[in-house]
A = this chain, B = another copy of it.
Amino acid sequence: MSAEASPANLSAKAAGRLPVALDAMGGDHGLTPNVDGAVQAARSGVSVLLVGDRVKLHAELGKHEGSSRLPIEVVDAPDVIGMEEHASDVRSRTGASINVCTRLVKEGRAAAAVSMGHSGATMASALLTLGRIKGVDRPAILAHLPAQGGFTTLLDAGANADVKPAYLAQWARLATVYLKVLEDRDNPTVGLLSIGEEDHKGSQQVVEAHTLLRALDGQGITFYGNVEGRDIFRSTTDIVVTDGFTGNVVLKLAEGEARVLLGWVKEALNSNVKSKLGGLLVRDSLRGLAERMDPSTLRREHLDRGAGAGLYRPRQRRRPRRQKRRAACRPRPRSAAGRAPGSGVRGAAGLRTAEPPGSL
């Protein structure tokens, strides 16, 4: 890798910001959509380090006219963690593309790492290579779900199947800072996912988390109280915290239900001549709806705006010693993938891929 002379590096230097490292081998659909995405990002001015099999990546890049003039640099990685492999494999396989990505961040050569690949491996690699900040025991996957008020921020969406009540309180703080900094929300509210609004309802773990969150109310977070499954789509709160098992079930159920319901709408519109005729007239309006209902569209939108989701692990600015304790308790992410690091904070983002729910 000849970083000094590369277009990506030159462009990044010119713009005063570091490139984004993209795990070009990760994901359900191979390298093609990753390279497509890198080309799109580069055309909009984001410098990209394309990490993976050098020969295959150059061949794929060659299909895009004028790609040699874009701020894209290929970084070789001889290995990739497959979707069916174990997350713990990242320990031994140093040449895996996700490990190369997180090392580029660690070495200060990339602002962020982005992967469409194995979520668990992405988390493990970020954790092992970049480490944790004090006060945050586990990273969480953060996802935006479409909702009446725009979107609801859900975490953990699948990084930690087994949790402790304290994690949920920590994630409430992380997500609050995330929405304040990246979405310019003044005072985001936090709901604790449970099976009843009353404080005493829920599993033992959730009741304990409720007590911790209540104690944090007004001290860095605004705690609404318990919310139920239906509140996620109602936008009752900006943020919903839950364990990674429930969060992942919620994410996949929401996507699956949207897909099936859209299919039923299509069926209904084709059920007889009258509704077929009507279907032609409402087609355009419903096409917009399909986009709105699709969590992957929503996440794409946020990516376009530079807000990469997931596994957020902010790195601290150097501070005078007297401020250190406070900094450890209140992590302050200031940027994500594709944004100028500005304050010197860097993040490692791991994004789930999601199939679209079908189009109308």
A269 to B360 CA separation, bound complex (whole angstroms) = 14
Q: Mark A238-259, 1 if CB is under 8 A from B, else 0.
A: 0000111110111111111111
Set B203, B250, B259, B274: member contacting A253, Cβ < 8 A: B250
CB distance from A248 to the nearest CB of B (A): 4
With a CB–CB cut-off of 8 A, which chain B residues contact A281?
Answer: 274-275, 277-279, 281
Segment at the interface with B among A13-21, A215-223, A284-292, A307-315: A284-292
- Cβ contact within 8 Å between A260 and B161: no
A257 to B200 CA separation, bound complex (whole angstroms) = 25
A268 to B278 CA separation, bound complex (whole angstroms) = 13
A201 to chain B: closest residue by CB = B161
- Cβ contact within 8 Å between B260 and A233: yes
With a CB–CB cut-off of 8 A, which chain B residues contact A280?
Answer: 278
- Does A206 make an interface contact (CB < 8 A)? yes
A204 to chain B: closest residue by CB = B162
Given the interface pairs A206-B245, A246-B246, the reply to whether A253 lies near B254 with Cβ below 8 Å is yes
Q: Within the oligomer, what is the number of copies of this chain?
A: 2
Segment at the interface with B among A2-10, A34-42, A69-77, A224-232: A224-232
- Cβ contact within 8 Å between B228 and A249: yes
A258 to B293 CA separation, bound complex (whole angstroms) = 11
- Cβ contact within 8 Å between B202 and A229: no
Within 51-97 of A, Cβ neighbours of B (below 8 Å) are at 84, 86
Tally of chain A residues near chain B (CB < 8 A): 67
A308 to B45 CA separation, bound complex (whole angstroms) = 60
Set B84, B158, B246: member contacting A245, Cβ < 8 A: B246
Instruction: Give me the interface of A with B, judged by CB distance under 8 Å.
Output: 84, 86, 147-148, 158, 161-162, 193-195, 198, 200-204, 206, 228-234, 242-246, 248-261, 263-265, 267-269, 271-272, 274-275, 277-286, 288-289, 292-293
A-B contact pairs, 26 of them (CB 8 A): A148-B260, A161-B201, A161-B203, A202-B245, A203-B245, A228-B248, A229-B256, A230-B252, A230-B259, A232-B253, A233-B260, A234-B256, A246-B246, A246-B249, A249-B249, A249-B250, A254-B257, A261-B293, A264-B289, A264-B292, A265-B286, A272-B285, A274-B282, A274-B284, A275-B282, A278-B283
Q: Which 9 pairs from chain A and chain B are nearest by CB?
A: A278-B281, A230-B256, A229-B252, A229-B253, A278-B282, A195-B248, A275-B285, A268-B285, A233-B260
Instruction: Using A268-B282, A274-B281 as known contacts, list a sample of 8 further A-B pairs with CB atoms less than 8 Å apart, ordered by residue number in A.
Output: A86-B200, A195-B252, A203-B245, A231-B256, A232-B256, A233-B257, A233-B259, A246-B246
